Structure 1
Amino acid sequence: MPTMRRFAVLLGCLLVLTGCASTGEPPMTPLQSRANVDLPRYMGRWWVIANIPYFAEKGKVATADVYTLRPDGHIDNVYVYRKAFDKPEKQMSGVARVVPGTNDAQWRIGFFGGLVKADYLVLEVASDYSWALIGHPKRNLAWIFSREPRMEAAKYEQLRAKFAAYGYDPARLQRVPQFPDQVGQPGFQ
């Protein structure tokens, strides 16, 4: 059997075995949102106060998502960040579409011309749209957003604790430094 074919068979078997692996816990149903989002009010800049770190955002500082409603009903999604506070601001752009029948709370975002897609769930939003809790159907990603770049510790802990009701482990959330004095502080990435 040629080497590439053996590798493909081995990789396929590994994927099947990984898919059958069990943690011993019953699988959770996919996360759904019951939020009712006023899309025009939701538009604008949201500072990323905390997230469950993952490869695309891990180690970034001064991060924010900026949303703009387009005439076609889609949403321009611009993620702004710095690799360090003394580095220039960079951007990554995507286009979101609202999933019909979700009260504007579930979006499907396409990055890099739609090659990479991400699910986005607004789990809760403050009545004054000052903060929002964002999740993912598989509960592997989560964010705390705020209209202001600095959030008081008590408010942060209150919002972080809310994720438990959605089946998350709130301890997985880590704060994102928005100011240089936050770098290296406990609880920050």
Structure 2
Amino acid sequence: MTSNNLPKAGYTLAKIALGGAVLVGLGMATMAYAQTKPLQTVERVELDKYLGVWYEVARKPLYFQNKCDRDVTATYTLNENGNVVVDNRCYTKEGKLTQSIGEAFIQNAPFNSKLKVSFLPEAIRWLPFGRGDYWVLKLDENYQTVLVGEPRRKYMWVLSRSPQPDQAVVNEYLEYAKTLGYDLGDVIHTKQTIK
């Protein structure tokens, strides 16, 4: 290589480095935009179709689910005041069944896509604090798979009516979560031993 080619090679390397920096910057800007853009829910949830048993197939880590090792389910039923009873169950590594009973309060009736969930003791559950957001972000028309999250994009769940859903469908819902600004680097794929 002659000395005449050195500046040209350096110029080419600088262009490559600049191009890489621009791509990284665009990627970060896109992620930042997705995380600051208001989180969109589905248009409407028909509660009578949504009620029943759902199997968790993926989630972002959540402190109160740390003990859950496998067979995580959520069962939803209506109570006498029109709110939704939430019955969450899972098995620990030691094989012990754990259960948490809560109540979900609809925030945007009649659309029913935004709820607040409380696991406080029933006697004080009416208090507005201690409630977490439960937003329905993607739901198929047959109510077989759902993506649930919250506006800060810290927590997220993919639930299915089947304990062993088609992995392609699960991946579709996870990819959709990614487009909403969720970081999928720490997603847990729930073990379901139920057939």
TM class, shorter-length: 0.7 to 0.9
How many percent of aligned residue pairs carry the same amino acid? 23
Q: 1:102 to 1:170 in 2, by over 3 A?
A: farther
Q: Distance between the aligned counterparts of 2:87 and 2:119, measured in 1?
A: 10
What is the CA distance between 1:166 and its match in structure 2?
A: 1.4
Structure 2 counterpart of 1:64, from 55, 59, 73: 73
What is the CA distance between 1:59 and its match in structure 2?
A: 4.8
Q: Distance between the aligned counterparts of 2:108 and 2:147, measured in 1?
A: 20
What is the CA distance between 1:128 and its match in structure 2?
A: 0.7
| Matched residue type, 2:179 | A
C-alpha contact 2:163 2:192 (8 A) present in aligned 1: yes
| Matched residue type, 1:36 | R
What is the CA distance between 1:102 and its match in structure 2?
A: 6.6
What's the C-alpha RMSD, in Å, of the aligned pairs? 2.2
Q: Secondary structure at the match of 1:100?
A: coil
For the pair shown, the structure with the greater C-alpha radius of gyration is 2
Within 5 A, what are the aligned runs for 1:1-189?
Answer: 28-60=36-68, 61-84=70-93, 87-101=95-109, 103-113=111-121, 114=125, 116-179=130-193
C-alpha contact 2:60 2:184 (8 A) present in aligned 1: no
Q: Secondary structure at the match of 1:56?
A: helix
Equivalences, count = 157
Alpha-carbon displacement from aligned partner over 1:118-146 (angstroms, at most 9, x marks no partner)? 11000111111111000111100000000
Unaligned runs of 5+ in 1: 1-22, 181-189
What is the CA distance between 1:159 and its match in structure 2?
A: 1.6
* Bigger mean CA offset, 25-34 vs 44-53: 25-34
Q: Distance between the aligned counterparts of 1:59 and 1:50, measured in 2?
A: 15
C-alpha contact 2:55 2:74 (8 A) present in aligned 1: yes
User: Structure 1 or 2: larger helix share?
Assistant: 2
Unaligned runs of 5+ in 2: 1-27
C-alpha contact 2:50 2:143 (8 A) present in aligned 1: yes
| Matched residue type, 2:165 | M
Under a length normalisation based on structure 1, what TM-score does the superposition of the two structures give? Answer: 0.75
Q: Distance between the aligned counterparts of 1:145 and 1:116, measured in 2?
A: 23
Q: Secondary structure at the match of 2:62?
A: coil
What is the CA distance between 1:154 and its match in structure 2?
A: 2.0
What is the CA distance between 1:98 and its match in structure 2?
A: 0.4
